[in-house]
Amino acid sequence: MTNWHTWHAKPTTNKRKKTEAISSTDPSQFKAVLLTGPPGVGKTRTAQLVCKALSLPYIEQNASDNRSRITMKKIEINSALLTDHYQAMNQHVLIMDEVDGVTGNEDRGGIQALIELIQTTRIPIIFIANDRQAVKMRTLISHCYEIKFERPSFLNVKSFILDICSREHIHILHSSLDNLINGCNRDIRKIIHSLNLYYKESSSTVSNVVNAEKALSTSSFDACMKMFSSSNISLIDKTNLYFHDSSFLPLLIQDNYIRVVPSMTSERKPIGTRQRIELISKAADSLTFGDICSKLNFTNGSRSLIGYQVSLSKQNCYYLKSQ
């Protein structure tokens, strides 16, 4: 950051070969930095602190808020005008967060606009992304100097949180703190927010906060597995799992129900081929009726059949309980 203007005194539009960009580890060869890593590990805060330490003013943009290539072009134009905006400041930085949010189908061309922004920029750019494994991120990575952030270890997180609790005079049992750290998947930001919620609400308990965080962190794929699980999950819990993602979860159930190996409820032994086909047939009927309810709900703009849709989805999973 200190030597950026020395390395890139003049704007250039020369395109570097992809193989050369990937093999190069020299930061002077890149006009942008890409910070990647899981959420809550301090990527954005690190970028802000680096700018403050170097006394560089910065502008923050959220790339996922700009949902088209036209808007990304506006960012490119605005970045060229940032120097005029800061006439008294010769050096400043553009921080663009959530660049992996422009890799969806609705953002075709968004990554290409970011690459063009890198090639023509006259200021340092810091990109921040959570999911570096996204297919379209590979192109952007080849044009940036990447710095990877890793999730801290359990002991490091616990030591850090205990230090915060000591400074803020917060008293918490070590066992409760362990559960909170595991429930938040070592996401420091989420842990701090959960502690704040716990001590702001006198009626809350650490276990309630942990359960809430676990519910929020449950993916749709995990919810689908639990729906088919033969463990004793109450109907209320399955209903809550369904509403975790009521638009995507039925599609996952439909895509995976035929692969589930059902077992007998009492003996918990694999059933015969004929019985399995009969259960799959019943499950398919439930899926069909559930899909009809879903179509009527969306077509008529009414949610009067949502209860039937949920019940039919749970019935499908009931027929095909896995081992």
Residues 227 and 129 in one domain: no
Closest CA to 321 of 228, 252, 240, 202: 228
Domain boundary among 168, 193, 217: 217
Token look-up 């959220």 returns 62
Q: Which range, of 138-147, 153-162, 170-179, 308-317, averages the lowest pLDDT? A: 308-317
Domain boundary among 199, 217, 235: 217
pLDDT digits over 65-75, tens only? 644 444 555 55
Token look-up 């609705």 returns 106
Domain boundary among 99, 126, 148: 148
Residues 234 and 117 in one domain: no
pLDDT above 70 (res 144): yes
Write out the residue range of the structural domain in which residue 171 sits: 154-217
pLDDT at 261: 65
Helix (H) or strand (E) holding 315: helix 306-319
Residues 54 and 117 in one domain: yes
Residues 32 and 135 in one domain: yes
pLDDT above 90 (res 61): no
Residues 162 and 242 in one domain: no
* CATH number for the domain harbouring residue 237: 1.20.272.10
Closest CA to 30 of 73, 66, 1, 64: 1
The pLDDT > 90 percentage for the chain reads 7
Residues 258 and 184 in one domain: no
pLDDT at 204: 46
pLDDT above 90 (res 159): yes
pLDDT digits over 301-317, tens only? 666 777 777 777 777 67
Q: How far is CA 133 from CA 47, 103, 152, in A?
A: 21, 11, 20
Residues 144 and 8 in one domain: yes
pLDDT above 50 (res 88): no
Q: How far is CA 263 from CA 272, 285, 304, in A?
A: 10, 19, 34
Bridge partners for 213 per DSSP = none
pLDDT above 70 (res 14): no
pLDDT at 49: 92
Residues 130 and 254 in one domain: no
List the structure tokens of 135: 């297919």
How confident is the prediction for the chain on average, in pLDDT? 73
How confident is the model over 193-205, as a mean pLDDT? 65
Non-local (6+) Cβ contacts of 60 within 8 A are: 95, 96, 97
Q: What angle do CA 1, 56, 50 make, to 5 degrees?
A: 60
Residues 169 and 144 in one domain: no
Angle of helix 249-256 versus helix 306-319 axis, rounded to 10: 30
pLDDT at 227: 75
Phi, psi at 62, each rounded to 5°: -105, 110
Phi, psi at 277, each rounded to 5°: -65, -40
Higher pLDDT, 233 or 272: 272
List the structure tokens of 228: 């088919």
Residues 256 and 192 in one domain: no
pLDDT above 80 (res 215): no
Strand order of the sheet with strand 125-129? 58-62, 93-97, 125-129, 32-36, 145-148
Measured between alpha carbons, how far is 112 from 143 in angstroms, rounded to an integer?
A: 11
Phi, psi at 201, each rounded to 5°: -100, 110
Measured between alpha carbons, how far is 183 from 314 in angstroms, rounded to an integer?
A: 26
Closest CA to 293 of 303, 284, 279, 285: 303
Residues 292 and 257 in one domain: yes
The tally of domains found in the chain comes to 3
Non-local (6+) Cβ contacts of 46 within 8 A are: 35, 149
Residues 254 and 292 in one domain: yes
pLDDT above 50 (res 237): yes
* CATH number for the domain harbouring residue 36: 3.40.50.300
User: Which DSSP state fits 63?
Assistant: G
